[in-house]
A and B are shown apart, each in its own frame.
Chain A
Amino acid sequence: MKKSKVCARGASASGGKSQNEIVMLIPHEVREKHLTWVLIFAFLFVSLSPAQIPDRTKPPELGAPPTMKLPAIEHFKLSNGISVVLMEKHQVPLVEVELIVRGGSVNDPNNKIGLASMTTAMMEEGAGTRNSMELADAIDFLGANISAYSGWHTAGVSMFTPLSKLDDAMALFGDICLRPTFPKEELERNRKERLTTLMQWHDEPRAIASVQFSKTLFGDDHPYGKPTIGNEKSIRALKVDDLKKFHQTYFRADNARIIVVGDVTGSMILPKLEAIFGKWEGGKAEQQSFPKAEQMKERAIYLIDKPGAPQSEIRIGRIGVERMTEDYYALRVMNTILGGSFTSRLNQNLREQHGYTYGASSNFDFRVMPGPFLAGSAVQTAITDSALIEFMKELNRILEAVPDEELNRAKNYLTLRYPENFQSVGQITNQLAEIVNYDLPDDYFNNYTKNVLAVTKDDVQRVAKKYIDPENIAIIIVGDRKTIEKPLEALKLGKIVNLTIQDVLGKAPKVE
């Protein structure tokens, strides 16, 4: 009945030919700077060829995959050897500049975790001759954005500015990179702010889940096991000299690279960079080595009680693999099928088929050292056990050969939408940062599609088996223990470790 109705409407829409009457308005040439346009009416009669009448019985054919022409990646060196990577982009008068150094949260000493993060936050709290307020006022007045950041293995300063304010913004950017002043009173203020943030994490099921997840996977001795903003003890211990030392150690010429994207050319931007960074002194920062984190050797549930929570936050995972693995492309394809897109198995199963959640996904966090593989969701409390059953089902099913249809969809999804990552100066800077951070070759963008398309069904199965081991996996759940513990026990997935929020985060800091 429904089917015939569909056909009837489709048929009535596709019969016959017609003449179309189109009224066109032709624009007058815009002369000088006058805003003027004139409307001229013309009547055109165009008839639809049969090909223009919609055939709704099947989806329309796709065109040939488009090719993207990107501006070249240009390389320069300042007189002191700092590499500059440039991509011109002239559509909008904007410029993004990023300075990246090697050195980040992994370099935090054990008793000073949070150091990298605090150092970069404090680089914005006074630089050159300006104090914190003056610096912020100068940046905001330009309509620019200059911010210092730290990651696991890198730190840096990124600048976004309208082209018209480039010179003024560059001067402030140079001050923040080279001449931060680290005022003591600003450190005290930031310290209180961070301790308060730690306190607020007690309210946030996502933060609680994330802290326990990293701790369970990497343990207390590996840098990836610790929160990058630090803990109460380490935040209280940080001193101005620690920050100065971190800055001096890692923010130096031999350890820095610069990315420029936007409405500039090499000959325009290089003298400006040379004037600011050309006399910066070198000295290589020593790169540390770290103990290898131990992989999960069992399956265990860490149940963190959040009484009365209407949903359970679930994080399932184990240690994955480093960014430069030869399995990178196969893993990207495999994860797209498992939990990397809307039509991925986890989302379709938990959201669309069962309605357990607003969304479920998975991800490999590729870092310099092996980062986590994570599958997660927020599910309705009452069906936490059922959701877990479906998670385990999908983690096992991905170990089997995937159908061609899913494989091809994932490969197309990864490759055909790739150009979307190159629309804004910010997006392009992020793309170039990947090249800079992992020393990828210049033809990386060009070969991306080829590399994804080369992934076979066997590759997908091989990497699934290699990296996803549902028997040896951590399951973190933040939820209402009273309701979910018994059903979870009945699943017999492994031991259940009961924790309180305080077990995970410690006591909420007292901020005086």
Chain B
Amino acid sequence: MRIKFLLVLFLIGFILQFGNAQLSVKYEKFSLPNGLTMILHEDHTVPVATCNIWYHVGSGREKPGRTGFAHLFEHLMFMGSGHVPVGKFDEWLEAAGGDNNGSTTSDRTNYWENFPTSALELALFLESDRLGYLVDVMTPEKVDAQRDVVKNERRQSYENRPYGMASIVLGENLFPADHPYHWPTIGSQEDLSAASFDDVVDFFKKYYVPNNASLVIAGDIDPAKTKQLVTKWFSDVPLGKPVQPLGAPVAFLPEEKRIVLEDKVQLPRLYINWLSPKHFSPGDAELDVLANVLAGGKNSRLYKRLVYDLQIAQDVSAYQDASMLNSTFAVIATARAGHTLAELEKVIREEINKIKNETPSLREVQRAVNQFESGFLTRMERVGGFGGKADLLNNYYVETGNPDYFNEDFARYKALTPEDIQSVAQTYLREDGDVVLSIVPQGKKELAAPAKGGK
């Protein structure tokens, strides 16, 4: 049989300079006739390389009654495939000095193998085999085995952790029931119990197709040779049906929601969450900087007031949790003993209102941007794993179409003015459209933030 395919290759070599930062990651991009996108990046610092693949499917695609399925499926990807007996994925890789992991979000699922350069072809074989032949050897027993593991992951990371249920409750209240971000990626115990072997086959056929994936090979590689090897190992996987991008109307909170949960904790904790613009859209970088101005470091507004001056909080944090369809912005603070969440909320609202009424100082914004800048530099160091260069190239490619989006990404921050920061506070940190969650010690509801209308 003759295999005919077309490789489209972009070879891009730019060196951009930003102040002293050199934020450029050179890459080559091409795609196979079966629709798989490949991105190659050379870094010869140490003789290791990484294989990083993103499937453009996350928990947002789950069917009703099957929450947690995309993540359960991720676990099944390590259970062997057509030509890889169960257990051998990890054994062969470790015996070659490699390591691996995967993760699932609402938007996507990613997998990586880090390995010495001698194991490049092994990694490609393993990764391509589970893309091509996973369900050939899938069994209900494998599904059961990982179902138990994932249920324990839920117990360990959520149920048996103080304040562990907060993120689940917040998601359910921020997004309407039919929004892909309404349910948690970890899923519910009931839905995990319900996941079936047939679900696995369906999900695989629908979403684990080369045209719904992007692959980055980075590290101490020879690009020409790597191209050949990737082509060799991934070309026998047939093109799948097109996967339509997941869409959702922009979520909107028409009014404030206030929730109180009791937990086995010593101290009450307050969560104020807002809906915010999706990743890379206008307002997203501004909110990152606003989070830093509010709670990044000792001099941030909320840390200084709550933790340092008043000493009524043990900790405070703020962040823009950016995702592809919609983001959320959060302020979280834990009260000191003897203090209530009402006291904390009052100060938090005051500080947010100050920013709404008066632009933050240039130094505050510059301090945040400088921290982001060194963060970008740090990302130039490590090739593999979560947050390594390969993972970032893939992330940028998936979300912007440009793998080397490092400079553009940083430029978003660099361009910000204090007025920009003030403006997103005014637009998004509304008092009539947020979710206020109080987690209080059992039997201590009086420590919660006041009920609606009671502030």
B87 touches A352 (CB 8 A): yes
A202 touches B14 (CB 8 A): no
A20 touches B298 (CB 8 A): no
Which one of B16, B97, B382 lies within 8 Å of A412 (CB-CB)? B97
B299 touches A378 (CB 8 A): no
A66 touches B117 (CB 8 A): yes
Interface membership of B136, Cβ < 8 A: yes
Sorted nearest first, the 7 A-B pairs with minimum C-beta distance are: A416-B97, A355-B148, A13-B236, A66-B47, A143-B374, A63-B118, A164-B20
Cβ of A349 to closest chain B Cβ, rounded Å: 12
Pick 10 A–B contacts, CB within 8 A, sort by A.
A6-B82, A19-B2, A59-B92, A59-B122, A68-B46, A141-B370, A163-B20, A199-B267, A343-B90, A417-B116
Cβ of A412 to closest chain B Cβ, rounded Å: 5
Which one of A341, A356, A423 lies within 8 Å of B45 (CB-CB)? A423
Binary contact track B36-53/A, C-beta < 8 Å → 1, others 0: 000000010111100000
B47 touches A68 (CB 8 A): yes
Cβ of B89 to closest chain A Cβ, rounded Å: 10
Cβ of B158 to closest chain A Cβ, rounded Å: 9
A143 touches B46 (CB 8 A): no
Q: In the complex, A53 Cα to B20 Cα: how many Å?
A: 46
Cβ of A210 to closest chain B Cβ, rounded Å: 15
Which one of B11, B96, B128 lies within 8 Å of A62 (CB-CB)? B96
Binding site for B on A (CB under 8 A): 2, 5-6, 9-10, 12-27, 30, 33, 35, 37, 39, 48, 52-54, 56-57, 59-68, 91-94, 132-133, 136-137, 140-145, 160-164, 189, 192-193, 196-197, 199-200, 202-205, 308-311, 341-343, 348, 351-358, 378-380, 405, 408-409, 412-413, 415-417, 419-420, 422-425, 508, 510-512
Q: In the complex, A132 Cα to B129 Cα: how many Å?
A: 56
Q: In the complex, A57 Cα to B125 Cα: how many Å?
A: 11
B152 touches A27 (CB 8 A): no
Which one of A15, A24, A419 lies within 8 Å of B47 (CB-CB)? A419
B8 touches A23 (CB 8 A): yes
B314 touches A196 (CB 8 A): yes
Q: Which single residue of chain B is at the shortest CB-CB distance from A205?
A: B160
Interface membership of B367, Cβ < 8 A: yes
Chain B residues closer than 8 Å to A311, beta-carbon distance: 152, 155-156, 159-160
Chain B 76-108 residues near chain A, CB threshold 8 A: 82-84, 87-88, 90-92, 94-100
Instruction: Using known A-B contacts A63-B118, A343-B90, determine if residue A423 contacts B149 with beta carbons closer than 8 Å.
Output: no
Interface membership of B416, Cβ < 8 A: no
Chain B residues closer than 8 Å to A65, beta-carbon distance: 97, 116, 118
Chain B 390-413 residues near chain A, CB threshold 8 A: none
Cβ of A120 to closest chain B Cβ, rounded Å: 16
Q: In the complex, A355 Cα to B267 Cα: how many Å?
A: 33
Interface membership of B246, Cβ < 8 A: no
Q: Which single residue of chain A is at the shortest CB-CB distance from B22?
A: A93
Instruction: Using known A-B contacts A56-B82, A352-B87, determine if residue A358 contacts B156 with beta carbons closer than 8 Å.
Output: yes
Which one of A26, A378, A380, A417 lies within 8 Å of B114 (CB-CB)? A417
Interface membership of B176, Cβ < 8 A: no
A92 touches B381 (CB 8 A): yes
B377 touches A92 (CB 8 A): yes
Instruction: Using known A-B contacts A64-B118, A423-B45, determine if residue A54 contacts B232 with beta carbons closer than 8 Å.
Output: yes
Instruction: Using known A-B contacts A133-B304, A136-B297, determine if residue A16 contacts B137 with beta carbons closer than 8 Å.
Output: no
Which one of A10, A23, A204, A348 lies within 8 Å of B82 (CB-CB)? A10
Which one of B14, B162, B337, B367 lies within 8 Å of A30 (CB-CB)? B14
Interface membership of B205, Cβ < 8 A: no
Chain B residues closer than 8 Å to A141, beta-carbon distance: 363, 366-367, 370
Chain A residues closer than 8 Å to B155, beta-carbon distance: 310-311, 358, 378, 380
Cβ of A309 to closest chain B Cβ, rounded Å: 6
A419 touches B7 (CB 8 A): no
Chain A residues closer than 8 Å to B13, beta-carbon distance: 27, 30, 37
Chain A residues closer than 8 Å to B371, beta-carbon distance: 140, 143
Interface membership of B252, Cβ < 8 A: no
B156 touches A378 (CB 8 A): yes
Chain B 118-171 residues near chain A, CB threshold 8 A: 118-122, 124-126, 128-129, 132-133, 136-137, 144-153, 155-157, 159-160, 162
Cβ of A483 to closest chain B Cβ, rounded Å: 14
A419 touches B4 (CB 8 A): no
Instruction: Using known A-B contacts A68-B47, A140-B371, A162-B373, determine if residue A18 contacts B83 with beta carbons closer than 8 Å.
Output: no
Instruction: Using known A-B contacts A355-B149, A412-B94, determine if residue A423 contacts B2 with beta carbons closer than 8 Å.
Output: no
Chain B residues closer than 8 Å to A24, beta-carbon distance: 9, 11
Cβ of A57 to closest chain B Cβ, rounded Å: 7
Cβ of A347 to closest chain B Cβ, rounded Å: 9
Instruction: Using known A-B contacts A6-B136, A56-B125, determine if residue A358 contacts B149 with beta carbons closer than 8 Å.
Output: yes
Cβ of A191 to closest chain B Cβ, rounded Å: 11
Instruction: Using known A-B contacts A48-B3, A91-B45, determine if residue A196 contacts B10 with beta carbons closer than 8 Å.
Output: no
B266 touches A508 (CB 8 A): yes
Cβ of B93 to closest chain A Cβ, rounded Å: 9
B373 touches A143 (CB 8 A): yes
Q: In the complex, A33 Cα to B311 Cα: how many Å?
A: 51
B380 touches A92 (CB 8 A): yes
Chain A residues closer than 8 Å to B152, beta-carbon distance: 311, 355-358, 378-380
Chain B residues closer than 8 Å to A25, beta-carbon distance: 9-11
Chain A residues closer than 8 Å to B47, beta-carbon distance: 66-68, 419
Chain B residues closer than 8 Å to A508, beta-carbon distance: 266
A144 touches B9 (CB 8 A): no
B137 touches A162 (CB 8 A): no
Instruction: Using known A-B contacts A19-B4, A48-B232, A203-B264, determine if residue A133 contacts B308 with beta carbons closer than 8 Å.
Output: yes
Chain A residues closer than 8 Å to B87, beta-carbon distance: 343, 348, 352
A6 touches B83 (CB 8 A): yes
Q: In the complex, A7 Cα to B42 Cα: how many Å?
A: 35
Q: Which single residue of chain A is at the shortest CB-CB distance from B43?
A: A91
Chain B 351-375 residues near chain A, CB threshold 8 A: 363, 366-367, 370-375
Cβ of A216 to closest chain B Cβ, rounded Å: 22
A23 touches B6 (CB 8 A): yes
B137 touches A54 (CB 8 A): no
Interface membership of B427, Cβ < 8 A: no
Chain A residues closer than 8 Å to B296, beta-carbon distance: 140
* Extra 9 A-B pairs, beta carbons < 8 Å, given A63-B117, A162-B20: A14-B236, A27-B12, A93-B22, A94-B378, A137-B299, A140-B297, A202-B266, A203-B266, A357-B149
Instruction: Using known A-B contacts A48-B232, A196-B337, determine if residue A91 contacts B304 with beta carbons closer than 8 Å.
Output: no
Chain A residues closer than 8 Å to B45, beta-carbon distance: 91, 422-423
Chain B residues closer than 8 Å to A351, beta-carbon distance: 149
B162 touches A204 (CB 8 A): yes
Q: In the complex, A175 Cα to B340 Cα: how many Å?
A: 38
Chain B residues closer than 8 Å to A200, beta-carbon distance: 162, 266-267, 314
Interface membership of B428, Cβ < 8 A: no
Chain A residues closer than 8 Å to B2, beta-carbon distance: 16-19
Interface membership of B443, Cβ < 8 A: no
Cβ of A439 to closest chain B Cβ, rounded Å: 26
Chain A residues closer than 8 Å to B43, beta-carbon distance: 91
Q: Which single residue of chain B is at the shortest CB-CB distance from A28?
A: B13
A91 touches B380 (CB 8 A): yes
Q: Which single residue of chain A is at the shortest CB-CB distance from B300?
A: A140
A416 touches B118 (CB 8 A): yes
Chain B residues closer than 8 Å to A511, beta-carbon distance: 336-338
A9 touches B133 (CB 8 A): yes
Chain B residues closer than 8 Å to A33, beta-carbon distance: 17
Chain A residues closer than 8 Å to B366, beta-carbon distance: 141
